[in-house]
Structure 1
Amino acid sequence: MTKHILVATDGSDKAREAVTMAANLAKALGTRLTILHVILHGLRAKEASRLTEAEHLVRRVSAVTMPQLERVPGSMGELFRASHGDIGEMVSVLGDRIAENAAETARSIGASSVDTRVEPGDYAETILAVAEEIGADMIVVGSRGLGRLRGMMVGSVSQKIIQHAHCSVMVVR
């Protein structure tokens, strides 16, 4: 019987679909739901600008990290350039916002017990470690849609989770 579901999100469309699926499952089964956002160690500005497709977060993140700005940046790229190298704080605030947005979605669907976590580390390894730590019975993740050749060479996060998880894994396509 499933008692605790872990869903990982990066704010992308597939991750939002995974959150919706996990929230619906948590509601139907009456289980706890933990929403996890993983911040990759050593994230560079170029990678950070691709962290999420959620440009609407720019206003919230810039208000928290740079309240002195007169003009709110129009995109993630502008936000990171305006940071003058303090990307770590912005990525952290962005991670918190992604997790909280997902929690708001889950609660609006009807999931009653929702927790959020933002952790640094390798994506797959951190998801697996948190699943073990919280005793998750199921992990829900979105698919990445990597090309066939690249997927075989690099391996996706979801593939690594499927191979190494000690619980059920649902990949939302």
Structure 2
Amino acid sequence: MNHPVKEILVPVDGSDNANRAVKFAAGMAAALGVPMRLFYVFPAASVEVIGMAGMSRDDIDHAAQAAAQRAFDKTREALGDDAPKDIEEETSIGDPAEEIVRYAEDDPGVMVIMGRRGLSRMKSLVLGSVSDKVSRHAKSPVTIIT
């Protein structure tokens, strides 16, 4: 890594693995003295699968924000009193792995800390598909918490 860590990005979805990752990330952010950002990606496939394709962009954005808020609330609940005061939140719509990699590429000082597997019902033997793709394609450091 050629750049110092300036921010820790934690992709969240409300899963237990994401909550374990955010607890680890909070400690890392405090130790490094850098901000932590929770990042929720509303999967673009969800838009098509659940029939949102005919909805307006505002309605899709509202659905994405509602889903993100549920994930952020679960994350903050998991952190409890250990939650840093300055956690930022960001939501995106798209392929989760691609959006995480894109975010990290836009700022070379980002370190990604994420859970091994999220809420997806699809199972993988070693890593979840999102964490696997991010670890293979991100140019910034990626830490996967099991």
TM-score scaled by length of structure 2 = 0.73
1:52-91 mapped onto 2 (5 Å cutoff): 88=60, 89-91=62-64
Contact 1:138 1:169 in 2 (8 A): yes
Q: Matched residues in 1 for 2:67 and 2:110: separation?
A: 28
Distance 1:3 1:97, change over 3 A: same
| Cα drift, residue 167 of structure 1 | 1.0
2:94 is aligned with 1:121: yes
**Runs (5+) with no aligned partner, structure 1:** 46-86
Matched residue, 2:54: none
1:15-26 mapped onto 2 (5 Å cutoff): 15-26=18-29
SS in 2 for 1:31: coil
Q: Matched residues in 2 for 1:35 and 1:157: separation?
A: 16
Bigger radius of gyration: 1
The structure 1 residue matched to 2:13, chosen from 10, 15, 30, is: 10
| Cα drift, residue 144 of structure 1 | 1.6
TM-score scaled by length of structure 1 = 0.63
Report how many aligned residue pairs link the two structures. 129
The letter for the 1-side match of 2:69 is D
**Runs (5+) with no aligned partner, structure 2:** 51-58
| Cα drift, residue 91 of structure 1 | 4.4
Q: Matched residues in 2 for 1:103 and 1:147: separation?
A: 27
Q: Matched residues in 2 for 1:96 and 1:10: separation?
A: 10
Contact 1:99 1:118 in 2 (8 A): no
Q: Matched residues in 1 for 2:9 and 2:138: separation?
A: 12
Q: Matched residues in 1 for 2:110 and 2:65: separation?
A: 28
The structure 2 residue matched to 1:158, chosen from 110, 122, 131, is: 131
SS in 1 for 2:101: helix
Residue by residue over 1:82-131, the C-alpha shift from the partner in whole angstroms, topping out at 9 and shown as x without a partner, is xxxxx844443121232254356558325343210011000100011122
| Cα drift, residue 32 of structure 1 | 1.1
| Cα drift, residue 137 of structure 1 | 2.9
CA-based RMSD of the aligned residues comes to 2.8
Matched residue, 2:81: 108
